[in-house]
Structure 1
Amino acid sequence: MATAGEAASATGLHHVGMSVADLDAALAFWEPFLGVPARWRTVLDRPYLGRHVGYPGVTIRAAFIDLPGGNTLELLDYQVPDKEQIPDLTANPGNVHLCLTVADAATAWQKAVDCGARPIVPEGPVDIDGGPNAGARAAYLRVHDGITLEFFQPAPKREAAA
């Protein structure tokens, strides 16, 4: 058992999960955007699951898609009555976003828009003009279900002075 103040023993990111209103609609964005099909589609309904997620007896339509870098995006369509869409405003507590590192933020932004994403800034990625990420570029977009997707293009590497 951990003692107070002891750090968690996390060793890495396992997956990012997103609850969605319609699994097929979510896949209609992610598969063409990432350029890969879902690795696995299934119905999750094992007895442990309801206890685990707090919905006894739940059935969840699910799909798993490989993300760049070796992680997984888990899309979950809970088959329960009375699901409510949460407001998609980034400032709302509980709003979470997925940030992908990209080689070219403008290209990724356009691909996402072509796949149905709604841009926050209509002209595309913005230049980061201060702090530890000065020189980088970033963009927020909304995808299915009001989920926020961010792109981060690192600043060009500067050559060290001789």
Structure 2
Amino acid sequence: MDSVPFGRSQGLPVARLRYATIDIDGLGIDLIQFTDPVGERTNGRANRPGSVHLCFKVDDFDAVHRRMEDAGYDFLGGDCTFIAGEVTPDAALGTRVAYFNDPDGTNLEIIEPREASPTSRDLIPLRGLRRVPYPRRRCIPARLEKAVARLRS
């Protein structure tokens, strides 16, 4: 895309960008790379207002976490299991999570919910992982690989 009007709609003088849109059951995810004006990496932190957070449901937390570590993916901290007194509702007790960033600094999470809840059934399933060629490798869910490949071409 190369558009002055679209750039202005984004509060920018112009928008030259490459993008891919993924539709998952009505949930749209846009992967955007601005080539002009080029932005800075977000270096987002979970507590930063306006930060984005995508969560990927996994069926075997230990296997996925181990596979990611073995492949060189960096987690922001240790994994966490929700315990009584720290989380509500009780249906979330025993849920396991771990957080990491994509190459642009977007906050991402893998989660293995213990019980079905209104939020856990709507999570995007993480079906596969692959290495990505960045100096510090990060995880890209397999469902997004084609869109990322389009951005790189």
Q: Do the two structures share a fold, i.e. TM-score over 0.5?
A: yes
What stretches of structure 2 of length at least 5 have no aligned partner? 117-153
1:108 match: secondary structure: helix
Contact kept in structure 1, 2:15 and 2:37, CA below 8 Å = no
Counterpart mapping for 1:33-48 below 5 A: 44-46=1-3, 48=5
Partner amino acid for 1:141? Answer: F
Counterpart for residue 75 of structure 1 = 31
Q: Which of 61, 82, 90 is residue 128 of structure 1 equivalent to?
A: 82
What stretches of structure 1 of length at least 5 have no aligned partner? 1-43, 158-162
Deviation string for 1:5-43 (max 9, x for gaps)?
xxxxxxxxxxxxxxxxxxxxxxxxxxxxxxxxxxxxxxx
Alpha-carbon distance, 1:111 to partner: 4.6
Counterpart for residue 38 of structure 1 = none
Q: Structure 1 length as normaliser, TM-score?
A: 0.54
2:109 match: secondary structure: strand
Task: State the identity as a percent.
Answer: 30
Counterpart for residue 96 of structure 1 = 52
Counterpart for residue 58 of structure 1 = 15
Q: Which has the larger radius of gyration?
A: 1
Residues 70 and 118 of structure 1: is their aligned pair in 2 closer, same or farther, counting only changes over 3 Å?
A: farther
Contact kept in structure 1, 2:52 and 2:107, CA below 8 Å = yes
Contact kept in structure 2, 1:119 and 1:142, CA below 8 Å = yes
RMSD: 2.8
